[in-house]
Structure 1
Amino acid sequence: MTDDIKVLIVDDHPVVRQGLRTFLDLQDDITVIGEAFDGASCVAEAERLNPDVILLDLRMPGTDGVFALRGLRDRANPARVLVITSFADPSAIVPAVRAGAAGYVYKDVDPRALAAAIRSVHAGHVLLHPDVARLLAEGDSRPSDLKLTSRESEVLEAVVRGLSNREIAKKFDLSEKTVKSHMSAILAKLGLQDRTQAALYAVRTGLVSLAGK
């Protein structure tokens, strides 16, 4: 089906890739469209296949997951990246999130929870443990007197709520091109690189409050 979530699996172990593919192929709304074995092949396959979600291992021989994330970001690839890792230390996840990952799950995750996580990041949500969000916030020296326009604030709040550019455009009766322009302005003012980091920063600093909503 054309509405299926297209997934690229990236892991250096063939048995892991096969196991993930076998499970995900059972899902009615998820289709595995390809596999890659390291960071460089991830970037190449993402450019060729245009997946919606990339399920990415962090530790791989040669070029690792962070390399892949940076490569995807440099090429402005729109795929959402869900890291799947065996790292238990939250600090090990931070470089991946800073490089653009939308969230992470552990390799011992329940299969149904993995499918739910893929759907969630595809919908625009950010999946981070509070400990990771705290570590991301440490050392953040951005000024607290940033001035966003009222429209930029509305767009940022919509991003925090997980809305896509298309959904934001519909909500505020704007074109997707205009929403993208607002997002570019927001990221420039905040000194951030992607909407995931913008959402985290907005909640942490109080730029967006979800209380009572």
Structure 2
Amino acid sequence: MTGVLLIDDHAMFREGLLLTIAKADPELTVHDVASGHAALAAVHEHADISSVIMDYYLPDIGGAALVKGLRQLRPGVRILVLSASEDPDDRQNALAAGAHAFVHKSADSRTLVNALACVRAGMPWHEGATTVIRVPPLTPMRSAAHTDEATLLSTLTPRQGEVLRLVCNGLRNREIADHLGMTERTVKAHVSAVLTALGALNRTQATLIARRGGLFGKPQ
């Protein structure tokens, strides 16, 4: 199942959001925390988290700093900021830091559901949008269609493709470095680039995309 991380320090508001999201998409697994530090720990612990709904002002880490921290920890994560702030600079700073949408807390549940669906689907969202988009469960963070996965694989460089093949064969960075005659640091950079290009959360999900996309022949 696909996971969403909900970050808000107000328990009652957070519980209301949990009910709204569960009703809108029962297939989603929602993890909820009350602070920035807990959010970073949750992303580290739960590989299924592919999108985040976060309050902009939290008691410990908040604002653009948390957006950047989440994206550094998981580069492909999709972030929706939900805030009571009326300051246009907050919105600009959040988006500049890597957030994909900024929704005011006065918005109704339909607006929130639509914004989350757009963010998860990689589509632009703008204030005032009313059409609710249904997003099927993602595996891992994109559509599981073979054609989409084959297209993702085609964006890799030849060297990234070689690295991905070895990752799929279960080799670790040091082993890949020895096999390809490069440094372990370079391999790590290639692996990170591959995960970002494929929208994968980890090596296991990258392997699934590679096999389904036909890296080893007929798509599986």
Give the alignment's Cα RMSD to 1 decimal: 3.2
User: What is the rounded CA distance, in whole Å, between the counterparts of 2:43 and 2:150 in structure 1?
Assistant: 32
Superimposed CA distance per residue, residues 64-90 of structure 1 (whole angstroms, 9 cap, x where no aligned partner) = 132221112222342210000111222
* Partner residue, 2:99: 101
Q: Give CA-to-partner distance per residue, 1:143-165, whole Å, 9 cap, x none.
A: xxxxxxxxxxxxxxxxxxxxx87
Alignment of 1:111-126 (within 5 A): 111-126=109-124
What secondary structure sits across from 1:25 in the alignment? helix
Segments of 5+ residues of structure 1 without an aligned counterpart are 130-163, 182-193, 196-213
Q: Which residue of the other structure, out of 2, 11, 15, is the alignment partner of 2:8?
A: 11
Is residue 17 of structure 2 the alignment partner of residue 28 of structure 1?
no
Q: Which amino acid aligns with 1:15?
A: M
Structure 2: gaps (5+ residues): 128-140, 158-195, 198-220
Contact 1:40 1:63 in 2 (8 A): yes
In the alignment, residue 62 of structure 1 is paired with which amino acid? D
In the TM superposition, residue 100 of structure 1 has moved relative to its aligned partner by: 0.8
Local SS of the residue matching 1:35: strand
Note closer, same or farther for the CA distance 1:28–1:62 as it changes in structure 2 (3 Å cut).
closer
Q: CA deviation at 1:117?
A: 1.0
For residue 92 of structure 1, report the CA deviation from its aligned partner. Answer: 1.4
TM-score normalised over the length of structure 1? 0.59
The structure whose Rg is larger is: 2
1:89-114 CA-to-partner distances (Å, cap 9, x unmatched) read 22211111111101111101110121
Check the 8 A contact 1:165/1:179 in 2, yes or no: no
The one-character-per-residue Cα deviations of 1:162-181 (angstroms, maximum 9, x if unpaired) are xx87699936963x244255
Shift of 1:24: 1.5
Corresponding letter in the other structure for 1:170: T
d(CA) in 1 for partners of 2:54, 2:95: 12
Indicate how the Cα distance of structure 1 residues 70 and 180 shifts in structure 2: closer, same or farther if over 3 A, else same: farther
Inter-CA distance 85–30: structure 2 relative to 1 (3 Å threshold): farther
Structure 1 residue 8, shift from structure 2 partner: 1.1
Change (3 A) 1:170 1:110: same
Aligned to 2:147: 170
Is the 8 Å Cα contact of residues 39 and 67 (structure 1) preserved in structure 2? Answer: no
Map residues 1-213 of structure 1 onto 2, 5 A cutoff: 2=1, 5-29=2-26, 31-50=28-47, 51-128=49-126, 170=147, 174=151, 176-179=152-155
| Preserved CA contact (<8 Å) 2:35 2:61 | yes
TM-score (norm: length of structure 2): 0.57
Q: Answer with 80-89 or 26-35: which moved more.
A: 26-35
Contact 1:58/1:65 (CA < 8 Å) preserved in 2? yes
